[in-house]
Amino acid sequence: MQAGTAPGKDFGKPRRIDADLSLEQPANLSVSPALFQKFQKLIYAETGIWLGSAKTALLCGRLFRRLRALQMDSLESYYECVSAPEADDERARMIDAITTNETRFFREPRQFDFLVQKVIPRWQREAESGVRPRRLRIWSAGCSSGEEPYTIAMLLARHLPAEAGWDVRILATDISNRVLNKAIKGVYPINRLSELPADLLHTFMLRGVAERQGEMKVKVEIQQMITFQRLNLDREADLVEGPFDAIFCRNVLIYFDTASKHRVITNLYGRLMPSGLLFVGHAENLSSMSLQLRCIDPSIYAKTEHKDNSF
């Protein structure tokens, strides 16, 4: 790999929840309403994600590859397999198959602008005045294939560098082993890095040469800022302790029903520092949540118990 090259125009798009339903699916693969409800309840119990009845075709399309890998010819047989108490590994593969992983660097850029223009300067002022240590803990909850935590890491490395005494660590979690394996590698097709500003691209990314031509790799100093971990946001036993200065949980809540969403947000809220911030997706509104949260910018929330009015 070599450093410093101009970005390409687009890199491979992860699948949407309503895309790629064919997957060489045989015409006779189907699921009865009763069987769909069984999968619906199993997936909900495992993840908190509720598949509506309109997702029947999605379920068939996404699970066909698992049937083919296991040499099964029906979803009935697959359900008997995946619902067995000892089938933890296969349930994890099922979740990998049905979950959505659409992401990109600097997705929803307004929030990153807010981070750079408002949040980081506040952290700097607090450190200089002795109000806080030069220590940050950030959680990217639902990190997918890594673009979000790498974006955060690059911005913090640029503005709050280790050379200035800052200790910055990012926890990046997802329920899908498949995307976590990609995130850990930090290697992406070169043809979608137009979302990365040129200065960050040249400073923190490497371009592949020879057999790695056409790839970009995150530099090791950025990778070392991040710990990737499989985690189920809807399962209390999986959750980490914290506390965190900021939690990014963006475009995740839209896949939960009301009960799961409330559990997840309550758990995230409890792991924020008193001055911590919660970033959610632009289509996710927390106004109905009975928590002490105030909206300080679209889709960015602070604890109301904290009296800082700097935002």
Residues marked as catalytic: 62, 174
Residues near 52 by beta carbon (within 8 Å), at least 6 away in sequence: none
Lay out the sheet containing 187-189: strands in order across: 2-3, 205-207, 215-218, 187-189
Whether residue 203 contacts residue 191, with contact meaning beta carbons closer than 8 Å, is answered with: no
Task: Compute how many other C-beta atoms are within 10 angstroms of the C-beta atom of residue 113.
Answer: 12
CA quadruple 196, 202, 206, 212: dihedral positive or negative? positive
**33-47 and 56-70 helices, crossing angle to 10°:** 80
Whether residue 136 contacts residue 170, with contact meaning beta carbons closer than 8 Å, is answered with: no
| Pairing status of strand 244-249 against strand 300-303 | unpaired
Tokens representing 243 are 């506390």
CA 19, CA 180: separation in Å to the nearest integer?
A: 21
Residue type, 9: K
**147-159 and 120-128 helices, crossing angle to 10°:** 40
Q: Is 217 helix (H, G, I), strand (E, B) or coil?
A: strand
CA 229, CA 241: separation in Å to the nearest integer?
A: 14
Task: Compute how many other C-beta atoms are within 10 angstroms of the C-beta atom of residue 180.
Answer: 22
